[in-house]
Amino acid sequence: MDNIIKILPHTIANKIAAGEVVNRPESAVKELIENAIDSGATEITLIVKDSGKSLIQVIDNGSGMTEEDGILCFQRHSTSKINSIEDLESISTLGFRGEALASICSISQVEMKTRIASEDVGTYIKIEGDEVTQVSKTNCDVGTSIAVRNIFFNTPARRNFLKSDTTEFRHIYETFIKLAISNPGTAFTFFNNDEKIFDLRKSTLLQRLAGLFNTTFSENLIKVHAENNLISLNGFISKPNFTKKSKADQYFYLNNRFIMSKSLNYAVYSGYDDLIEKGNYPSFFIFINLDPRKVDVNVHPSKLEVKFEDEGAIFGFIKSAVRNALRESNIIFDIGFSGAVEIPEKESALMHKEIYNKSAIFTPIKKEAYDSKPFERREPTATIHSYSEITNELFNNTEVPKPEENKNLFEHKISDTEEFNLWQYQNKYIMCQTETGLMIIDQHAAHERVLYEKAVSMLDSQAAFSQQLLMPISLTLSKIDYHIVESIQSELKSLGFNFKFQKNDKIELTGLPSDVKIGDENKIFQDLIDKYKEYELKLNLDKRDNLAKSFACRSAVKSGDKLVRQEMLGLIDNLFACKMPYVCPHGRPTVIRITTEELDKRFSRT
């Protein structure tokens, strides 16, 4: 009888193991650049084509390899980083498992040129799917050049699961940023489809951040430093008035290795105390140096997760360092008034015949909105006491069905009493008496649903009314944000954003959608792009659906916004005019109904 248990062939075992190390082109980029850094390179060039699907090439001027080492480095568990079990307790390099190159060559076609300084000629090695097909001498510079072509060519199922070129490029871009930040003393060049994305020279950390993001970004950072006999911390945190609506641009490095930790992130937030509003997030670039024996980085092949010997002490150390940095920077002057109060010459940068009225964002959905005509702005009715009256007033001469005509909403009809009860709880929920009990509406989720359906309609019709800015606003974007805006420019304009592209990653904003509150226009636009990026990475959304959801999330009223009675009534009417009023675009409920019968049971009245 044949044995049931068998040893897998080398080629199959490598393909299985490769799945843990290389799950997309970005994984190969990360491993190759980390190897270049570990080799002592001071200049590194990254070249990708078709978002890494057809080519990933990393060229460095590091130490290089001999022919023997060049062949051996592609074998699994071959490494120059550690020699014994004791070395695992004091890892100082980015790589050490000896799995990266073996995994990469098992699912792609690899060519390598490498030379050490003591030799006049280098070595050329070609590998295809684990098999070395050519070894020869070649002329090349000192260092190593590795080209990875046709990734996943022999694992078509894995290749079919890759996302769009835009998404895969985003992952590569983010990884490049992480490594470029942590190595400002190394020059980096990045080409995408023959276009130079970055040309970063050796610099200080602050100069590197200005090169990767922009000068305005770097000027709004505060230096943070702390140390004791066990740990040291250096880096930058953003000023409290320079926050974002997403957790983008948050970077933690442990012994120069990028890591992810919710606990450490929360330590930074805690250091800000009440200086930032709930829902806003600071940017930070924090480098922690700690005895390698006090932390375990050998948790997962990605090496993103770590385990600290005393995480509580690290938490307190970071929180204290952030708090002290904010205190020492006299940040209060950036938050409050500094000197005389300046009175603006204009009440708004927008050309309006009337002063902006926040209630306007709750005017009913109108067909005219999709015909490139401005929304009709109504003055609040002087005396309205009942739901039926407000319904007749708001929906007068519109094509939107009245809420009481919607059969699905029969049980949610608000009591038609002389003065029905309607109030806001904690500036978060709208509490409303109904004929059968109590209706509780989440104001943010409800407004998200209204704006989402409106955005979808505008994207479908490709026509939207735009509030034109009297004075255009110039925005400097990061390179990836500029690239994203280019890829979704027609959809953005369908929503009502009018802008022109300029040089040096800048755009000129000339108009905003009618539903966007007037205020910090550049922040509104940036928040939208940040949310779009977040959804693109986390959710598998269609581009238009992603943009509609991002627009709704960033433009909707927030928890904590105080609403007057008229605004609450308008929001309720708009919600119940939606095709799907009961959930927000992300699936959270917008409304909860508690019947009188249920309340009676709770109070034992039955």
Looking at domain 467-555, its CATH architecture is 2-Layer Sandwich (3.30)
Q: What is the pLDDT of residue 501?
A: 93
> CA 255 to CA 37: how far, in whole Å?
14
Which residues of the chain carry a pLDDT beneath 70?
Answer: 1-3, 6-21, 77-98, 297-303, 330-420, 463-464, 518-520, 539-540, 606
Q: What is the pLDDT of residue 540?
A: 66
> What is 10-204's CATH number, 3.30.565.10, 3.40.50.10470, 3.40.50.1100, 3.40.50.11720?
3.30.565.10
Among 156, 194, 212, 146, CA closest to 48 = 194
Residue 340 makes CB contacts below 8 A (sequence gap 6+) with none
Contact yes or no for 471/382 (Cβ under 8 A): no
How many CB atoms neighbour CB 501 within 10 A? Answer: 12
Domain with CATH 3.30.1540.20 in the chain: 358-447+562-602
Sign of the alpha-carbon torsion through 284, 285, 289, 290: positive
Q: What is the pLDDT of residue 368?
A: 39
Domain with CATH 3.30.1370.100 in the chain: 467-555
Statement: 220-335 belongs to CATH 3.40.50.720? no
Among 201, 460, 241, CA closest to 329 = 241
Tokens 């992810």 belong to: 260
Tokens 């022999």 belong to: 154
The pTM of the full predicted model, rounded to 2 decimals, is 0.69
Contact yes or no for 246/306 (Cβ under 8 A): no
Q: What is the pLDDT of residue 144?
A: 97
Contact yes or no for 172/48 (Cβ under 8 A): yes
As a whole number of Å, the CA-based R_g of the chain is 29
> CA 585 to CA 451: how far, in whole Å?
10
> CA 487 to CA 548: how far, in whole Å?
15
Q: What is the pLDDT of residue 330?
A: 67
pLDDT digits (tens, 9 = 90+) for 533-578: 888 777 667 788 889 999 998 889 988 899 999 999 999 999 999 9
327 burial level (CB within 10 Å; 0-12, 13-18, 19+) = exposed
pLDDT digits (tens, 9 = 90+) for 443-474: 999 999 999 999 998 888 876 678 888 888 88
Q: What are phi and psi of 452, to 5 degrees?
A: -65, -50
Domain with CATH 3.30.565.10 in the chain: 10-204
Contact yes or no for 79/96 (Cβ under 8 A): yes
Statement: 358-447+562-602 belongs to CATH 1.10.150.120? no
Q: What is the pLDDT of residue 182?
A: 96
> CA 344 to CA 351: how far, in whole Å?
15
Contact yes or no for 116/110 (Cβ under 8 A): no
Q: What is the pLDDT of residue 544?
A: 86
Q: What is the pLDDT of residue 7?
A: 67
Residue 327, by phi and psi: left (phi above 0), alpha (psi -120 to 50) or beta? alpha
